Amino acid sequence: MTTPHTPWWRGAAIYQIYPRSFQDSNGDGVGDLPGITARLDHVARLGVDAIWISPFFTSPMRDFGYDVSDYCDVDAQFGTLADFDALVAKAHGLGLKVLIDQVYAHTSDMHDWFAQSRADRANIKADWYVWADPKPDGRPPNNWQSVFGGPAWTWDARRCQYYMHTFLKEQPQLNVHNVAVQDALLDVARFWLERGVDGFRLDALNHAMHDPELRNNPPAPDDGKARTRPFDFQLKIHSQSQPGMVGVVERIRALCDDYGAIFTVAEVGGSDAVAEMKAFTAGDKRLCSAYGFNFLYAPELTPDLVAEAMAEWADAEGWPSWAFENHDAPRAVSRWCAADAMGRFARMKMLLLAALRGNIILYQGEELGLEQDEIPFDLLQDPEAIANWPLTLSRDGVRTPMPWTNARQGGFTTGTPWLPLGDENRARAVDGQEEDADSLLHWTRHVLALRNAHPALRHGALERVEAQGALLRFYRVSQGERILCAFNLSDAPLVLADLSAGTVLAVANGGTADALPGYGAVWAAVEP
């Protein structure tokens, strides 16, 4: 529920779709745009406001779509531009906004821009990517490391120079300092805005600008965490996170404003993510929101973790977006609880996510309680997982097909799926949960309906966040409404004699006004 003065996206629930794994319509084992369109009724019934579709653009798929070779077309395995238009029309008919990824930090090395840029040092696009001469002994120009392992520089014999790549060598870094590059990227955004999209998720935005002086990154202090990549040994103060990105952000916002209430959310990671997220979203001339990595890679969910994340965003400091899972992070139930507690934990987790101040993002299958699938090495597709085996997060395990039925291949495809679907997740299929009134699917719909019905939960203020042992407690407040939200983040019961009484709105796993069982939770309307 929004007021006439509240933009639709403020407090929105957004459903992320990974197109390769949502629904295959033609039997080739890869999900596609017509498949998404066919399943949008399921998404709409959840009660979300928008869908976010991960990349479907033309790509050689070295990083499964995040290596774009044509920003303004659909890769053939996903369909056509006409299929995309049909998807947007169906979504809008169901009351769903459509958000898509924009990848502005890099392209594929198969992009026409890069083909021209690498041809020589004098052509019109020679400075569209980050090129640098070698050191006198032939080594790369500095010590920057790539996320996926090894130096962030690859030699190119055509120009007798190195080009930069923060990720794969097949993902050369765009030189976003160049105004012509900015103009070209804004043209890309305009192309999709003209086709009716309602917003953008801006991928790896703080990676999109580098230090022009190419200074070495300093070593990172040892914080006791495991370091599995050379990338982890540096403070990335020169290879990313440059202050000039704020000006680019303002250009993006100005364009989006020309098209009305367009939602923009930045993906920002790194050691100083909060400061960058606030810089990208400050005032009314920058982005609407940003989401970071507070929960996506956390090994456990604790009251202190939630309290610290909430404290980073005071009411006057912008509007955050939160996700517990996405296409890059392992399933939360596999990280945060024992296998025999997954069902109960998932119910509590959904109630917690929906109570957070900000936008919330559900990753496909989260409404079913899917766990992380185990993918054997010989079936891995993810380049990061293969490169860092066995010390890997295995992004493939969260990208396995959506189980629509408990039949063979989960109703995802009539062919062989690009990744295998585990039996445990197939048993959590949509059709079985539809028939079970007590399923997580029905619970998710109930929770989102309550969130939409109460302004305090959707876009109200956050007050009195308390983290005491396993207990997390806070209030959401708006328009004379005050809602207590209390959660037991452990599997042991808690007795809470001082829990404020009120009208109970929702209970997970049998919570009451004075006690919370293991993974119990309660929302209660109390006196303002």
Taking only the tens place, the pLDDT of each residue in 362-394 is 999 999 999 999 999 999 999 888 887 887 667
Looking at residue 498, its pLDDT comes to 60
Structure token digits, residue 228: 């599995």
Instruction: Please give the residue that has the higher pLDDT: either 515 or 256.
Output: 256
Mean pLDDT of 144-156: 95
- Chain centre distance of CA 16: 7
The interaxial angle of helices 342-355 and 440-453, nearest 10 deg, is 10
Q: Report angle CA 322, 472, 316 to the nearest 5 degrees.
A: 50
Looking at residue 2, its pLDDT comes to 47
How many CB atoms sit inside 10 A of residue 234's CB?
A: 17
Share of the chain above pLDDT 90, in %: 89
Looking at residue 286, its pLDDT comes to 96
Taking only the tens place, the pLDDT of each residue in 29-64 is 999 999 999 999 999 999 999 999 999 999 999 999
Looking at residue 318, its pLDDT comes to 86
The CA distance from 73 to 81, in Å, is 6
Task: Specify the CATH number of the domain 461-526.
Answer: 2.60.40.1180
DSSP string, 306-319: HHHHHHTS-TTS--
pTM of the model: 0.96
267 is catalytic: yes
Using CA atoms, how far residue 174 sits from 127, 191, 220, 397, 423, in Å, is 9, 19, 26, 30, 42
Looking at residue 390, its pLDDT comes to 81
Residue 1 scores a pLDDT above 50: no
Taking only the tens place, the pLDDT of each residue in 288-337 is 999 989 999 999 999 999 999 999 998 667 899 999 999 999 999 999 99
List the catalytic residue out of 32, 203, 325, 396: 203
Residue 4 scores a pLDDT above 60: no
What architecture (CATH level 2) is domain 13-107+179-449?
A: Alpha-Beta Barrel (3.20)
Q: Environment class of residue 154 by beta-carbon count within 10 Å: exposed (0-12), middle (13-18) or buried (19+)? A: middle
The CA distance from 373 to 395, in Å, is 10
Mean pLDDT of 190-197: 98
Q: Environment class of residue 517 by beta-carbon count within 10 Å: exposed (0-12), middle (13-18) or buried (19+)? A: middle
Q: Give residue limits of the domains in the chain.
A: 13-107+179-449, 461-526
Bridge partner list, 468: 471
List the catalytic residue out of 101, 267, 325, 328: 267
Q: What is the mean pLDDT of the chain?
A: 95
